[in-house]
């Protein structure tokens, strides 16, 4: 459920997106609010500026959270973002331990406004293969130690 307090922070994320446009960047903005609701950090899309396909604000903030927040704080931190996170960012958010995401535009709404936003084909994948060879580094890394680890 989105509360009036959420809407205030969501409007701030939309303002970050609007500011990105004035800087020549794509119109996507996000922020993290800690357990007390205070804004911890903001980011906007810098894909073109950085020539980096991963420079979505949600992924930048997920990486920041994983680096800077202890797991308990991350779990009580909320991401507010102008658009629903894409698949790449959603994966990063899960791994960051952030506890909640609040977004303004759903992906379907974004695609309605800009059809090219949804033009992502799936990539063909072949596998699994070479199990007996590929398992060696995994088992070597994760094998419990003799000392009872």
The catalytic residue positions are 58
Beta bridge partners of 42: 31
| DSSP code of residue 37 | S
Closest by Cα among 145, 140, 33, 133 to 81: 33
Complex with Zn ion: residue 15 or 86, whichever CB lies closer: 86
CB of 22 to Zn ion, least distance (A): 21
Scan for tokens 């309605």, then name that residue: 112
Complex with Zn ion: residue 35 or 111, whichever CB lies closer: 111
CB of 142 to Zn ion, least distance (A): 30
User: How many angstroms separate the Cα of 111 from the Cα of each of 32, 96, 114, 122?
Assistant: 25, 27, 5, 17
List CB contacts of 115: < 8 A, sequence separation 6 or more. none
Closest by Cα among 59, 33, 54, 30 to 42: 30
Complex with Zn ion: residue 35 or 49, whichever CB lies closer: 49
| DSSP code of residue 31 | E
Interacting residues toward Zn ion by CB under 5 A: 56, 86, 88-89
Complex with Zn ion: residue 2 or 54, whichever CB lies closer: 54
CB of 79 to Zn ion, least distance (A): 11
CB of 80 to Zn ion, least distance (A): 15
């Amino acid at each position: 459920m989105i509360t009036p307090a959420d809407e205030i922070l969501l409007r701030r994320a939309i303002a970050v997106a609007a500011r990105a446009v004035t800087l020549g960047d794509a119109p996507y903005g996000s922020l993290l609010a800690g357990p007390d609701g205070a804004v911890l950090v903001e980011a906007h899309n810098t894909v073109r500026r950085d020539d980096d396909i991963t420079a979505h604000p949600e992924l930048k903030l997920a990486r920041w959270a994983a680096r800077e927040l202890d797991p308990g704080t991350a779990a009580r931190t909320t991401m507010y973002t102008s658009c629903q996170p894409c698949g790449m960012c959603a994966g990063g958010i899960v791994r960051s331990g952030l506890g909640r995401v609040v977004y303004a535009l759903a992906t379907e709404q974004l695609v309605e406004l800009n059809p090219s936003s949804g033009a992502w084909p799936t990539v063909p994948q072949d596998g699994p293969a070479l199990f007996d060879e590929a398992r060696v580094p995994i088992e070597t890394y994760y094998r419990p130690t003799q000392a009872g680890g």
